[in-house]
Amino acid sequence: MRVTDVFLSIPLLPLLLVLTGIVAASSSKASLSFLTIVIIIGALSWPGVARLVRATFLSLREREICRSGARGREQRFPDHLPPSAANAIAPIVVQATLDVANVIVLESTLSFLGFGIQPPTASWGNMLANAQATLEQAWWVAVLPGLCILFTVLAINYIGDGLRDALDPNMR
């Protein structure tokens, strides 16, 4: 978990900017592909999930359902894995939905700054970047992609909130 803590201490956006710049400079193509951006963001998004999974299993290990009266080597955590895994799925699924919303914002930010998906591939960040030139004459060109990002992220967050309510065993 110390490696995870080191990765969590590094700000994600500057690290993404540096990595996408390095990958774009070393690539023979002038721009990055959608798959490359997905791989870079996915490779840097693991520390939060790792910490959540560890914390969830540590809390489940301390619950009464996992205590059989055995101590030390007699108590084996894999014996309790199936019920614990079922209880651990809920927070992981909720975190996954919230991470999807964060990834949408990250990709839009990278594309807006010119480090993400490049035209002619459509991206809300590209649309916002292109709308800067016509902001005074055609404000809706910038507002509509911004609203699409907002409503998509809100919808995904509400789905995550609903999943949390539906999957949380304490809410039943």
Neighbour count for residue 73 (Cβ, 10 Å) = 6
Q: Terminus-to-terminus CA distance in the chain, angstroms?
A: 33
Provide the pLDDT for residue 108: 92
| Phi/psi-derived region of residue 72, left when phi > 0, alpha when psi is between -120 and 50, beta in every other case | left
Query: Smallest Cα–Cα separation from 126: which of 150, 147, 108?
Result: 108
Burial of residue 151 (number of CB atoms within 10 Å: 0-12, 13-18, 19+): exposed
The angle at the Cα of 81, spanning 76 to 84, to the nearest 5 degrees, equals 120
Domains recognised in the chain with CATH numbers = 2-171 (1.10.3720)
pLDDT of 146 reads: 92
Closest to 30 measured CA to CA, from 105, 127, 118, 100: 118
Residue 145 CA to residue 123 CA, distance in Å, equals 9
The sign of the dihedral angle between the CA atoms of 105, 110, 116, 118 is: positive
CA dihedral (16, 19, 22, 27) positive or negative:
negative
CA distance 108 to 124: 6
Q: Which residues of the chain have pLDDT under 50?
A: none
Specify the length of the chain in residues.
172
What b/e string do you get for 35-68 counting C-beta neighbours within 10 Å, with b at 16 or more? ebbeebbeeebebbeebbeeebbeebeeeeebee
In this prediction, residue 49 carries a pLDDT of 85
109: left (phi over 0), alpha (psi -120 to 50) or beta: alpha
